[in-house]
Amino acid sequence: MSAIATPLPETTVAWKLPYRGKIGIACLIIAESAIFTIFVVAYLFYVGKSLSGPTPREVLETPIFYTICLLSSSLTIHFAGKQLERGRRAAFLALWLLTLILGALFLYGTAQEWHRLIYERGLTISTNLFGTTYYSLVGLHGFHVTAGLIMLTAVLLFGLAGRVGPEQSARIDVLSLYWHFVDAVWVVVFTVVYVLGR
Amino acid sequence: MSSDAIAIQTAEATGRPWVERLHEWVTTVDHKRLGVLYILYALFFLIIGGIEATIIRIQLMHPRNDFVSPQVFNRMFTMHGTTMIFFVAMPIMFGFANYLVPLMIGARDMAFPRLNAFSFWLTAFGGLLLYFSLLGGNGLYGAGNAPDVGWWAYAPLASRAFSPGHSSDYWTIALLVSGFGSIGTAINIIATIVSMRCPGMTLSRMPLLAWMNLVMSGMVLLAISPLSAAQIMLLVDRYLGGHFFDTQAGGSATLWMHFFWIFGHPEVYVLIIPCFAFASEIIPVFSRKPIFGYPVMVGATVCIGFVSMSVWAHHMFTIGMNSYANSFFTITTMAVGVPTGIKIFNWLGTMWGGKIQFRTPMLFCIGFLFQFLIAGLTGIMLASSPFDWQLGGSYFVVAHFHYVIVGGILFALFGAFYYWYPKITGRMLHEGLGKLHFWLFLIGFHLTFDLMHIPGLLGMPRRIYTYEPGRGWDTLNFVVTIGAFVQGIATLVFVLNLVFSYFKGAKAGNDPWDAWTLEWSTSSPPPDYNFASIPAVSSRRPLWDLKHPEDADSHYE
CA B292/CA B349 separation, integer angstroms: 6
Interface with A, mutate which of B194, B312, B507 (most A CBs under 10 A): B194
Beta carbons of B243 and A132 less than 8 Å apart: yes
Beta carbons of A8 and B535 less than 8 Å apart: yes
Residues of chain B in contact with residue A17, where contact means CB-CB under 8 angstroms, are 194-197
Q: Which parts of chain B register pLDDT below 50?
A: 1-8, 11
Interface with A, mutate which of B101, B103, B109, B195 (most A CBs under 10 A): B195
CB B176 within 8 A of CB B228: yes
CA B491/CA B474 separation, integer angstroms: 26
How many beta carbons lie within 10 A of that of residue B170, not counting itself? Answer: 24
CA B276/CA B340 separation, integer angstroms: 10
Q: CA torsion angle for B235, B239, B241, B244 (degrees, to 10)?
A: 10
Beta carbons of A132 and B242 less than 8 Å apart: yes
The angle, 0 to 180 degrees and rounded to 10, between the axes of the packed helices B474-504 and B31-59 is 150
CB B264 within 8 A of CB B179: no
pLDDT at position B426 is: 95
Residue B139, classed as helix, strand or coil, is strand
Query: Which domains, ranges and CATH numbers included, belong to chain A?
Result: 20-196 (1.20.120.80)
Of B192, B228, B521, the CB nearest to A6: B521
The pLDDT tens digits for B272-296 are 999 999 999 999 999 999 999 999 9
The complex's ipTM? 0.93
Contact with chain A for residue B535, Cβ under 8 A: yes
Residues of chain B in contact with residue A4, where contact means CB-CB under 8 angstroms, are 1-3, 523
Report how far Cα B367 is from the mean position of its chain's Cα atoms: 16
Count contacts between A and B (CB, < 8 Å).
Answer: 161
CA B214/CA B273 separation, integer angstroms: 10
Query: What fold is seen in the domain B24-555?
Result: Cytochrome C Oxidase; Chain A (1.20.210)
How many beta carbons lie within 10 A of that of residue B72, not counting itself? Answer: 16
State the Rg of chain A over Cα: 22
Report how far Cα B69 is from the mean position of its chain's Cα atoms: 30
pLDDT at position A15 is: 86
The pLDDT tens digits for B304-338 are 999 999 999 999 999 989 999 999 999 999 999 99
Q: Which of residues 155-174 of B touch A (CB under 8 A)?
A: none
Burial B498-524 (b: 16+ CB within 10 A, else e): beebeeebeebebbbbebbbbbbbbbb
Residues of chain B in contact with residue A10, where contact means CB-CB under 8 angstroms, are 533-536
Beta carbons of B186 and A27 less than 8 Å apart: yes
Region for residue B226 given its phi and psi (left: phi exceeds 0; alpha: psi -120 to 50; beta: otherwise) = alpha
* Consecutive H or E run containing B307: helix B294-307
The pLDDT tens digits for A31-58 are 999 999 999 999 999 999 999 989 999 9
Beta carbons of B536 and A133 less than 8 Å apart: no
pLDDT at position A198 is: 84
Whole-Å CA distances, B254 to B154, B155, B246, B322: 9, 8, 11, 13
pLDDT at position B139 is: 67
CA B459/CA B517 separation, integer angstroms: 49
Residues of chain A in contact with residue B510, where contact means CB-CB under 8 angstroms, are 1-3, 5-6
Interface with B, mutate which of A4, A16, A27 (most B CBs under 10 A): A27
CB B244 within 8 A of CB B234: yes
The pLDDT tens digits for A140-190 are 999 999 999 999 999 999 999 999 999 999 999 999 999 999 999 999 999
CA B448/CA B399 separation, integer angstroms: 9
pLDDT at position B12 is: 52
pLDDT at position A3 is: 43
pLDDT at position B13 is: 52
pLDDT at position B1 is: 38
pLDDT at position B144 is: 72
Amino acid at B405: I
